[in-house]
Structure 1
């Protein structure tokens, strides 16, 4: 039996390959979730550059009390990454859930990023 981490890595590769086929040159909003934090990056794969990023480790979110591993913190990260991406000139992205199931913190981040102005 494969470990849950190995299965997540296989899902991640499957999701990523499907996204890159259908992205049409749009940047990718990549999400990673750990037990204590959540991280989001807007990545331009054509140039190999990170356009914007946010996480619960950022000083902005830690000082406001939004750090941690809950849905409220994930929503704050989603709004922050959307604000930084729109400031960098990115409006449309493809959402890369990174092998994680689309519910809970991942869904909260995605919904907040949509509210913040990203289109996906």
Structure 2
């Protein structure tokens, strides 16, 4: 039986989530990639709280981007999430690629977050 791409992504995500969990000292940076936008949120899994979120849909980013679905948009979201986390005093996270391959837009977001001052 052949799996669809969405099923494969969901299976990979479940496999990753068995090992990756965010704490209050080191929260989880979760990435969701849609066809038109990219979203990132930092989650404390012990308290079930989202600490910080950013996406290519935000008005200040959306006006400067040509598209919300390219590596440039992902890099801007990565820089923004790093900036917001550093303002809260958090500089270490656990990266959750959301079942996506570490390539393209997901990789661009991660590298931009690292350049912004996060370590993972």
TMscore range, shorter length = over 0.9
Instruction: Check 1:66–1:81 CA distance in 2 against 1; reply closer, same or farther (3 A cut).
Output: farther
Aligned to 1:115: 115
Relative to its length, the structure with more helix (as a share) is 1
Aligned to 1:9: 10
Instruction: Check 1:60–1:66 CA distance in 2 against 1; reply closer, same or farther (3 A cut).
Output: farther
- Which deviations, in whole Å up to 9, do the C-alpha atoms of 1:64-93 show, x marking residues without a partner? 236510000000000000001111221100
Cα RMSD (Å): 1.4
Once residues 49 and 58 of structure 2 are traced to their aligned partners in structure 1, the CA distance between those partners, rounded to angstroms, is 20
1:44–1:51 Cα contact (<8 Å) kept: yes
Q: Report how many residues are paired.
A: 118
Aligned to 1:57: 57
Any stretches of 5+ residues in structure 2 without a counterpart? Answer: none
Once residues 48 and 85 of structure 2 are traced to their aligned partners in structure 1, the CA distance between those partners, rounded to angstroms, is 16
